[in-house]
Structure 1
Amino acid sequence: MKSKLLFAMAVAAVATVTSLSAQAQELKIGYVNTERLTRESNAAKAAEQRLQAEFSKRDKDLKDVETKLRQAEEKLDKEAPSLSENERIKRQRNLSEEGLSLQRKQRELKEDFVRRQNEEMANILDRANRAVKQVFDADKYDLILQDAIMAGPRVDITKKVIDVLNAQK
């Protein structure tokens, strides 16, 4: 029963493809690689630079704090035998609190970065969609696909869309 159903589906698929291939000669189809577009366009590169500029100082500051904390831990390890029990516990507690504070700040930085990265990506994709629409209208495409599993170079219009996106202000 399953094999008959599969055979019938295969025959229907072949018939559909044959029918579509006759019509496909009349269709103008394009494909846009969104990942490449968001990696190679000037807008994507500018967004990456903005994010780097916006978050580099906070990241450097946190790395400096992490280095100082590591040095303080090493110092405590060396001095621990000569410290009183209360002093050692007090310094360990302070280092632990500073470590937790550092982890919280690192998590906040990461969350802020991801949020801003998503905002920038949404802006780029909005502009990219306008560029795709512009290419669609100018070149009279019938269909433009994004992120197909496979597409040949004949239908790949990613470079054309990147050029239009780069020309936008």
Structure 2
Amino acid sequence: MNHFLHRFCALLVLGFYLSAAHAQEVRLGFVSTERVLKEASTAKAAQTKLEQEFSKREKELVDQGANIKSMADKLERDAPTLPETQRQTRQKQLLELDRDFQRKRREFQEDLNARKNEELQLVIQRANKVIKDIAVAEKYDFIFQDAVYFNPRNDITDKVIKALNASAVK
């Protein structure tokens, strides 16, 4: 029985080798999503759009933070000479301003992250369409994104970036 099992396994392995030899070559490709998001003109345009959209709010937050720091420094310098009630009033006012600042900063970050995700999603959708078009046109069987290892000869990231840039110009 054991002898029969060995022969069966050997025949099975031989069958796999023979079928693999007759199989047509599989075309594989790799795309670096990170490079596409850094180098494609659509990704750069999305980044510029976000910077323009959020730069005013960011500047206001930076200014407000600097103002609060200035007020805190002034309070620290003046505290020894201020009457107790005035010192407490300024501390309370500073605390309220800081809470408002922290809330605005948190809202800003949430809004920025949401918009960044929306813009990145659009870039990724365009890139996926380009990848699919390249795969069909050049008869790729598989195209992988973000692999642990890939052979550089299978890297089609440059083709994808060029195609994305060309489609952005149209």
TM over 0.5: yes
1:27 matched residue in structure 2: 26
| Aligned-pair identity (%) | 45
1:88 matched residue in structure 2: 87
Give 1:123 shift.
0.2
Q: Which amino acid letter does the alignment assign opposite residue 61 of structure 1?
A: E
2:52 matched residue in structure 1: 53
1:115-161 CA-to-partner distances (Å, cap 9, x unmatched) read 00000010000000110011011111111111111111111101101
- Once residues 133 and 56 of structure 2 are traced to their aligned partners in structure 1, the CA distance between those partners, rounded to angstroms, is 39
Alignment of 1:162 onto 2:161: yes
1:145 matched residue in structure 2: 144
Matches within 5 A, 1:80-119: 80-119=79-118
So what's the TM-score if we normalise by structure 2? 0.84
Q: Which amino acid letter does the alignment assign opposite residue 78 of structure 2?
A: E
Give 1:24 shift.
7.6
Gaps of 5+ in 2: 1-12
2:3 matched residue in structure 1: none
So what's the TM-score if we normalise by structure 1? 0.85
1:84-126 CA-to-partner distances (Å, cap 9, x unmatched) read 1111101000000000110111111110110000000100000
Matches within 5 A, 1:37-52: 37-52=36-51
Figure out how many residues of one structure are paired with residues of the other and give that number. Answer: 157
Check 1:135–1:102 CA distance in 2 against 1; reply closer, same or farther (3 A cut): same
Q: Which amino acid letter does the alignment assign opposite residue 148 of structure 2?
A: I
RMSD in angstroms over aligned alpha carbons? 2.3
Gaps of 5+ in 1: 1-13
1:53-97 CA-to-partner distances (Å, cap 9, x unmatched) read 111111111111111111111111111122111111010000000
